[in-house]
Amino acid sequence: MRAMAQETRADLPFMKMHGLGNDFVVLDARARKVSLSAALIVAIADRHRGIGFDQLAVISDRGSSDAHLTFYNADGSTSAACGNATRCIARYLMEETGQTALTLTTDRGILQAMDAGDGLTSVNMGQPQLDWAEIPLAGPMDTLTLPIEGAPTATGMGNPHCTFFVDDADAVDLAGRGAQMEHHPLFPQRTNVQFASIIGPDHLRMRVWERGVGVTLASGSSSCATAVAAARRGLTGRRVTITLDGGSLQVDWRADGVWMTGATMHVASGHFTQAFLDSAQ
């Protein structure tokens, strides 16, 4: 942490947000420089000695968009996409500016966000990546049914996903199977893992293991990937409700991309102490 700018270390503010219990620490780098080491990210992620989060997000200025978002997982690795964090930050920026629609950039690409009414926020997560090389997988194969026990479907949403359709998602050993599948050799960049059950033609029950994080109460990009996988397999239509451990999201796979809508919460704002920052070297 000695490489961090002195003005940042002296007074580093943060916000805590969540979307259906999928929780985030958000740093606003638009007005001040924010430098992060992997050690500091992991220290902040510690739910006993830090703040705790599933992902950390940094807001910065970038070109002609309203803001650029960069995401980190709890283990310090990066992620190109984080749907629920994008919705949380979009809501924060809309309240800050009075706008009802935003253009955001991420390593996933350009994302559109809008106020969906009743306190809900929608984000277009872009077109799904369905080709093996884009997800990516280890070699050419049919992404609809992978050669893995349980025949899961692979989908890219700016990050890789592996979706199993099971009779009862609640009966799955999520921690055990999720940890095992995250590191499956078919996924050279590791993968997010979902277990989903069909409740009806427009309703899925899903549980999530996130790459670099573990069991989470919800995941936006996982919800989008699961909705796409279910529609591709003819199990549902292209517009579904997904019930996660933390609540429900609406996902609509349209011609212009996969739209996700749900609630967000800005829980608190605060500042890291100098002692904490010094400890994370």
100, 157: one domain: no
Band (pLDDT 50/70/90 cuts) for residue 16 is: very high
Q: What is the pLDDT of residues 44-58, one digit of tens each?
A: 999 999 999 999 999
25, 65: one domain: yes
Band (pLDDT 50/70/90 cuts) for residue 257 is: very high
Look at residue 276 and tell me whether its pLDDT is greater than 50: yes
- CATH code at position 159: 3.10.310.10
- The pLDDT of residue 10: 55
Helix (H, G, I), strand (E, B) or coil at 222: helix
Q: Does residue 136 have a cis peptide bond before it, meaning omega lies within 30 degrees of 0? A: yes
Domain assignment present for 145: no
Q: What is the pLDDT of residues 77-130, one digit of tens each?
A: 999 989 999 999 999 999 999 999 999 999 889 999 999 999 999 999 999 999
Helical packing angle, 220-232 and 83-97, nearest 10°: 120
Helix (H, G, I), strand (E, B) or coil at 96: helix
* Burial grade of 192 (CB within 10 A; 0-12, 13-18, 19 or more): buried
Report the relative pairing of strands 67-73 and 101-106 from DSSP bridges. Answer: parallel
Domain assignment present for 27: yes
Domain assignment present for 89: yes
Question: 21: which DSSP letter?
Answer: T
For residues 244 and 111, is the Cβ–Cβ distance under 8 A? no
170, 274: one domain: no
Cα separation, 260 vs 266, whole angstroms: 18
Domain assignment present for 245: yes
Q: Could you tell me what percent of the chain has a pLDDT over 90?
A: 89
Cα separation, 119 vs 91, whole angstroms: 9
- The pLDDT of residue 22: 96
270, 244: one domain: no
For residues 59 and 26, is the Cβ–Cβ distance under 8 A? yes
**Domain limits for position 163:** 153-255
Distance between the two ends of the chain, CA-based, in angstroms?
Answer: 5
Element (H, E) at 95: helix 83-97
36, 71: one domain: yes
Cα separation, 157 vs 162, whole angstroms: 11
Domain assignment present for 144: no
27, 102: one domain: yes
110, 214: one domain: no
- The pLDDT of residue 198: 97
13, 121: one domain: yes
**Quick count: other Cβ atoms within 10 Å of Cβ 57?**
23
Q: Please name which of 74, 71, 88, 122 lies closest in space to residue 224, comparing C-alpha atoms.
A: 122
Structural domains counted in the chain? 2
Domain assignment present for 108: yes
219, 268: one domain: no
207, 274: one domain: no
Band (pLDDT 50/70/90 cuts) for residue 2 is: very low
Domain assignment present for 34: yes
101, 23: one domain: yes
For residues 34 and 6, is the Cβ–Cβ distance under 8 A? no
Q: What is the pLDDT of residues 172-219, one digit of tens each?
A: 999 999 999 999 999 999 999 999 999 999 999 999 999 999 999 999
More confident residue, 10 or 142: 142
Q: What are the beta bridge partners of residue 101? A: 114
62, 10: one domain: yes
Domain assignment present for 187: yes
Cα separation, 54 vs 213, whole angstroms: 6
For residues 159 and 71, is the Cβ–Cβ distance under 8 A? no
